[in-house]
Amino acid sequence: MTTESIKWFWYASPQTFFPLAGRIARVCAVLAPIFTVAGLYVGFFVAPTDAQQGEAYRIIFIHVPAAWMSMLIYLVMAFWAAVGLAMNTRVSFMMIRALAPTGALFTFIALWTGAFWGRPTWGTYWVWGDTRLMTELILLFLYFGVMALQASIDDRRRADRAGAVLAIVGVVNIPIIYYSVKWWNTLHQGASVSFTKAPSMAVTMFTGMILMALAFWMYSIAVAMVRVRCEIMENP
């Protein structure tokens, strides 16, 4: 066994992970407001007015990063669920509990800002049956489901395992959200940014979006690390 792999198992113990989580939280808590200020500055003062949507498009700087976070946090949560079920490591299950509330929050923010963007551009806050909107709503219910399942089972080990199984089953929803705009006709526009082609927007708009995405990343990591420390303290 290499020293690297020993290190990973070393941090699988709550007692050794605790100080590391604290250091990560402190660094990210400093970076989050810096990226937020930079992102808002670029988003509101540098990025130009959109030719078609006017100023309404500026919702993009929170809508898209929040939607990315909602999916990414779910993937990370499902990853720890799989690790927890396979290795039976306590910190993995604590990570699910630490991530779920923040994931649900960003999912709600993506839905809320989407509604506030939809009203001026599509003429409606919400469309029942639209696949992009429905799958994102299902994501919110999956987060609630994982948290409710954990809270409703008294035996903590069984609660953790039940929550982890639901988190893993729900992962199937993530690619459906991501590709819904391609697979079905929806009011929602296609991806402005993808892995395969250059972004179809002004460079400054793209920069503002990426800065806000980094801000949300730092925020999420900081909050999750503080919450996992609380979990460790409350469950010695």
Nearer to other proteins, 39 or 161 (CB): 39
Contact 45, 51 (CB under 8 A): no
Within 136-175, the residues that bind other proteins by CB under 8 A are none
Question: Which CB atom, from 39 or from 170, has the smaller least distance to other proteins?
Answer: 39
12 to 1, 20, 173, 191: CA distances (angstroms): 16, 11, 28, 37
The smaller minimum CB distance to other proteins, of residues 9 and 55, is found at 55
Q: Interacting stretch for other proteins, rule CB under 8 A, among 106-114, 143-151, 189-197, 200-208?
A: 106-114
Number of residues this chain uses to bind other proteins (CB under 8 A): 30
Kindly state the greatest CA–CA separation across the chain: 60
Q: Which of residues 204-233 bind other proteins (CB under 8 A)?
A: 219, 223, 226-227, 229-230, 232-233
Q: Is residue 70 a contact partner of residue 139, using CB atoms and an 8 Å limit?
A: yes
Measured CA to CA in angstroms, residue 21 lies from 16, 17, 30, 33, 221 at distances of 9, 6, 14, 19, 9
Least distance to other proteins from the beta carbon of 56, Å? 4
**Minimum Å distance from CB 166 to other proteins?**
22
Site for other proteins in 26-45 (CB under 8 A): 44
Stretch that binds other proteins, among 4-12, 62-70, 150-158, 192-200 (CB under 8 A): 62-70
Window of 1-9, 52-60, 77-85, 128-136 that interacts with other proteins by CB under 8 A: 52-60
Residue 150 vs 161, nearer CB to other proteins: 150
Closest separation in Å from C-beta 123 to other proteins = 12
Instruction: For residue 58, state whether it binds other proteins (rule: CB under 8 A).
Output: yes
Q: Give the range of 109-117, 132-140, 171-179, 201-209 binding other proteins by CB under 8 A.
A: 109-117
Does residue number 108 form part of the binding site for other proteins (CB under 8 A)?
yes
Contacts to other proteins by CB under 8 A: 44, 49, 54-56, 58-59, 62-63, 66, 101-102, 105, 108-109, 112-113, 116-117, 119-120, 219, 223, 226-227, 229-230, 232-234
